[in-house]
Amino acid sequence: MPTGGVVSSGGASSIDGSADASGTGGTSVVDGPAGTGGSGGTTAACGTAHSVVEFAIPTANSMAAGIAAGPDGNLWFAEYHGNKIGRITTSGTITEFPILTTYGGPEGITAGPDGNLWFAEYSYGKIGRITTAGAVTEFQVPGTSFPWRIATGPDGNLWFTDLIGDKIGRITTAGTITEFSVPTASTEPSGITVGPDGALWFTETLAGQIGRVTTTGTMTEFPIPTASGQPQDIALGPDGALWFTEIAGGKIGRMTTTGDTTEFPIPTLVSGPGGIVVGPDGRLWFSETSGNKVGYITTSGAICEIAIPTETSLPQGIAVGPDGNIWITESDGNKIGRVNP
């Protein structure tokens, strides 16, 4: 049931787009070792000097989480502790919009098929919608729910993971919600994306599996080779395969639509890969929550890692901006980072 949307007061805080003083570099380069579970994994250096520029978020300790490109040419991000949705221009100007529910805990965010941004409110079990002008509407998920990540489906609806409820949810742009139970119990479904087959693919973090759900709710599950790898986020690669991060295993995985999986270890020993996205260069870009780096992997398995200037910044969300750059959220650093691919 919608709770009714109100327009925030034009974005309560705003700063200019001047780069953080430390954001002029970050060009640590390493080679990627051979993958396991299949062929590939060739080693290759980055080859290009990738710079990282950082922009401070106005709200202190906002704990920025998910980030997505909006239809207005800006990047939009969720502030879990700040309880706001932020907007950053490609030049770095940040505006923040409070959500309606106090302590709602916004996490994942995506551009919807209706020209709005849709986000998951983990703490109070709601799905939110924000217009590019800042008007917020919230929809309560039935029962006990903990929405985590959200993606636009091929059917024109929004699909989200229910982290603790072990469900995959679907919400229409009008706010009608349906949930489908994951077959395996206590899986913690996390990342979600659209596959090349017209289905939604998602990670099951605690079960060590990748799940597939059709738009009618039929589910299939595929185990990954490293059962304790804890798959986190997932993205459709340019090769038609599903690519995912293993936050505990320190690997990037590749799965075909038939469930065949190859894993590639990340050179940094304790990397904790989190978010993953396809870059404009055809590589898969990922954040390293523990390694404090941004990396990419080619479809043949070569890995490059780039250091983030701010130490222990805890990079999480990752997206491609309309400017062709890679944008990340730095949860502990309280910044938004921009990386040239």
> From CA 66, how far away is CA 69, in angstroms rounded?
11
> Residue ranges of the alpha helices (H) in the chain?
none
Q: What are 316's two structure tokens?
A: 């999480």
Angle ∠(266,232,20) on CA atoms, nearest 5 = 70
The reported pLDDT for the residue numbered 135 is 98
Per-residue pLDDT, averaged over 70-88, amounts to 98
> From CA 64, how far away is CA 88, in angstroms rounded?
12
The reported pLDDT for the residue numbered 16 is 36
Q: What are 164's two structure tokens?
A: 């603790």
- Other CB atoms within 10 Å distance of the CB of residue 323: 15
Terminal Cα distance for the chain, rounded: 42
Nearest by Cα to 97 from 112, 111, 77 = 77
Contact assessment for residue 86 and residue 70, using Cβ atoms and an 8 Å cutoff: no
Tens-digit pLDDT profile for residues 252-281: 999 999 999 999 999 999 999 999 999 999
Tens-digit pLDDT profile for residues 36-70: 333 233 334 687 789 999 999 999 999 999 999 99
Q: Please provide the average confidence, as pLDDT, over all residues in the chain.
A: 89
Tens-digit pLDDT profile for residues 99-144: 999 999 999 999 999 999 999 999 999 999 999 999 999 999 999 9
Contact assessment for residue 303 and residue 295, using Cβ atoms and an 8 Å cutoff: yes
Contact assessment for residue 188 and residue 198, using Cβ atoms and an 8 Å cutoff: no
Nearest by Cα to 230 from 289, 260, 272 = 272
Could you write out the DSSP letters of every residue in 24-93? T------PPPPPBSSS--------S---EEEEE-SSTT--EEEEEE-TTSSEEEEETTTTEEEEE-TT--
Tens-digit pLDDT profile for residues 10-45: 333 333 333 433 333 322 233 333 333 332 333 346
Nearest by Cα to 321 from 89, 133, 151, 108 = 89
The reported pLDDT for the residue numbered 48 is 76
Does position 154 have pLDDT exceeding 70, yes or no? Answer: yes
Nearest by Cα to 242 from 208, 212, 272 = 212
> From CA 219, how far away is CA 74, in angstroms rounded?
35
Per-residue pLDDT, averaged over 236-263, amounts to 98
* Amino acid found at 320: V
Could you write out the DSSP letters of every residue in 142-193? SSS--EEEEEE-TTSSEEEEETTTTEEEEE-TT--EEEEE-SSSS--EEEEE
Q: What are 162's two structure tokens?
A: 């229910």
| DSSP class of 216 | T
> From CA 153, how far away is CA 195, in angstroms rounded?
9
Give percent of the chain above pLDDT 90.
Answer: 85
Per-residue pLDDT, averaged over 228-256, amounts to 98
